[in-house]
């Protein structure tokens, strides 16, 4: 699977007024140049399939998913806050669940990412960040979730991964950096998604 791991953004969108746009690709360039090249790579047997990372402008990602030829897979934010955190460079909602639904409606596989939102959905963020950093703001938003985990006797990271597994995704990309985090992910996978009543309480804890 060969991924375009960039933000797909329509030309003229406010995102282009950011100081750093080196991670951006114009939607029009994707349509006119990149997508045909990806199809060529598949036809030549250089890659098995291609996909996109759906963290660009949500409307651009929805456009990509509705047009042919379609990607084989899209990486989508999959966490209980629906938050891209520090990966959000656009105004308005991330529309991650709308993107998941559009992907499935168009036969595109969904790879969930950011299940613990870069640490914001764990017991504690393990690095120094300024108070106004997106991950710190999300950590504050998740206070009710951590309180619920304490009540249930659950590890927040494990429950956050289990919640991500309850979303309409086909697989979950892990961002582990040590064996302990890997084992937490294994534990979450073995336990499976939480019961519907627990999911409802999780949703309420961050509402």
Chain-centroid distance of CA 108 in Å reads: 15
Do both 126 and 70 map to the same domain?
Answer: no
Out of 114, 129, 148, pick the residue that ends a domain. Answer: 114
pLDDT > 90? residue 117:
yes
In terms of domains, do 5 and 99 share one? yes
The H or E element that residue 140 is part of is: helix 134-141
- Quick one: average pLDDT of 185-198? 97
> Does residue 19 register a pLDDT over 90?
no
Express each pLDDT in 141-171 by its tens digit: 999 999 999 999 999 999 999 999 999 999 9
Domains identified in the chain, total number: 2
Question: Do 24 and 48 fall into the same domain?
Answer: yes
Q: Which of 45, 54, 75, 49 is nearest to 7 (CA)?
A: 54
Q: Rounded CA gap, 95 and 102, in Å?
A: 10
Report residue 132 CA to chain centroid gap: 21
Domain limits for position 205: 118-167+179-207
Q: Residue 158: left if φ>0, alpha if ψ -120 to 50, beta else—which one?
A: alpha
Q: 125 and 110, same structural domain?
A: no
Q: Which two tokens stand for residue 59?
A: 């409307």
Q: Could you report how far apart the first and last alpha carbons of the chain are, in Å?
A: 36
Co-location of 39 and 3 in the same domain = yes
Q: Is residue 124 part of a domain?
A: yes
* 85/108 same-domain check: yes
Residues 98 and 139 placed together within one structural domain of the fold? no
């Amino acid at each position: 699977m060969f991924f375009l791991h960039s933000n797909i953004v329509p030309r003229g969108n406010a995102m282009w007024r950011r100081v750093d746009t080196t991670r951006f690709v114009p939607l029009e360039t994707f349509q006119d140049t990149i997508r045909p090249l990806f199809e060529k790579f598949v036809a030549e047997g250089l890659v098995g399939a291609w996909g996109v990372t759906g963290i660009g402008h949500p409307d651009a990602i929805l456009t990509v998913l509705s047009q042919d030829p379609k990607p084989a897979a899209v990486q989508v934010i999959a966490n209980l806050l629906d938050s891209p955190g520090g990966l959000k460079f656009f105004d308005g909602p991330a529309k991650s669940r709308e993107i998941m639904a559009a992907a499935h409606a168009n036969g595109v596989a969904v790879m969930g990412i950011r299940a613990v939102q870069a640490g914001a959905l764990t017991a504690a963020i393990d690095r120094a960040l300024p108070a106004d950093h997106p991950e710190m703001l999300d950590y504050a938003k998740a206070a009710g979730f951590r309180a619920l985990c304490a009540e249930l006797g659950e590890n927040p990271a494990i429950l956050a991964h289990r919640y991500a597994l309850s979303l309409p995704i086909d697989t979950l990309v892990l961002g582990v950096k040590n064996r302990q985090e890997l084992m937490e992910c294994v534990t979450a996978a073995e336990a499976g998604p939480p019961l519907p009543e627990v999911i409802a309480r999780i949703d309420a804890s961050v509402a």
